[in-house]
Chains A and B, each alone.
Chain A
Amino acid sequence: MLTPAQFAQQVDGPALEQEISRLSAKGGGWVQAASVLSRRINGTLDWETLGPAGARYKIMGSRGEAVLFADRHDESRILKLRGLEENGFGSAGFGCILGSDKRGMIGYQPGTMEQAIEREELTWRELGFSCRYEDVIGDGVGLLLAQDFINGSAPTIPEIHGYMKLHGWESLSSARDVLPTLHDHAWRRGDVHAFDANETNFIKSEADGKVYPIDLIVWRL
């Protein structure tokens, strides 16, 4: 286990402040994105003890469920920091899982740290590629996962559909029991569901030209 201060000391503080300033300067919705990043770091780490320029972990960005860091000690991987709802990680919690609401509609639900690990395990089994466990921060305040970094670009939607169909997944785009805002990127194979299959959650590898899922929400219902 890492204390919030121990992890903070390994984070490049100036790069983080520069990223927050850059997002804020873009205006519009980006100001909110900057606020979310700031809140995630403030709530999960000890801001006062952030490391110097060139420290091991450099901010890459903040996206739906996680804050991303490059690891200067191991350039082959990227770190994902997930955390508590009240610390800016919102209703994703430690990572969304899937569940049905009162009307029987399938949608996202906040996941606990245990469920985040369970989701990673299921993703490895169902997709063959996911994250490794790295560490936990504090007394369950943050979860660090590591993933092989794939040099490449976003695939197209037809390429993503081709990948999913090739591996036996069935589209839920016309399913009546999936929230309409989610069903365009929702798939099922047996009782396992894979949601959020959009361009930002796949990488087309420069090395072999193949498509790899990097952050789907995989859950058994």
Chain B
Amino acid sequence: MSFDPSKIQLPPPDAELRLPPPNVRELSAEEKYQQVRRHLKDDESSADKMSVQMKTQVRLTHAHTSTVRAAG
């Protein structure tokens, strides 16, 4: 696939969609922020435990840095 934004169709027209229903109410940016933090275990109740996703970004970045250093 070459990158031509004009040809991108997401979702694909023939895909069978399973979309979530609209939210009962739209959250504000601050409420969303709190939900994302809870989801990533980045709230005050889980201060010592990082979620897999939080750890992953650090690990992936370290892996890349190590590769660059080794190559250099």
CA distance A35 to B22 in the complex (A): 35
Q: How many A-B residue pairs have CB under 8 A?
A: 169
B70: Cβ under 8 A from any A Cβ: no
B-chain residues with CB within 8 Å of residue A208 when the two chains form the complex? 20-21
Q: In the complex, which residue of chain B has the Cβ closest to the Cβ of A66?
A: B57
A114: Cβ under 8 A from any B Cβ: yes
A-chain residues with CB within 8 Å of residue B65 when the two chains form the complex? 90
A-chain residues with CB within 8 Å of residue B15 when the two chains form the complex? 124-125, 128
A97: Cβ under 8 A from any B Cβ: no
Interface of A is mostly: mixed
Q: Do B16 and A90 touch across chains, with their CB atoms under 8 A apart? A: no
Q: In the complex, which residue of chain A has the Cβ closest to the Cβ of B25?
A: A151
Interface residues on A, range: 35 or more
| Residue positions of A touching B, CB distance < 8 A | 1, 26, 28-30, 32-33, 36, 39, 58-65, 68, 70, 72, 75-76, 78, 85-86, 88-92, 113-115, 117-118, 120-121, 124-125, 127-133, 135-136, 140, 148-154, 198-201, 203, 205-208, 210, 212
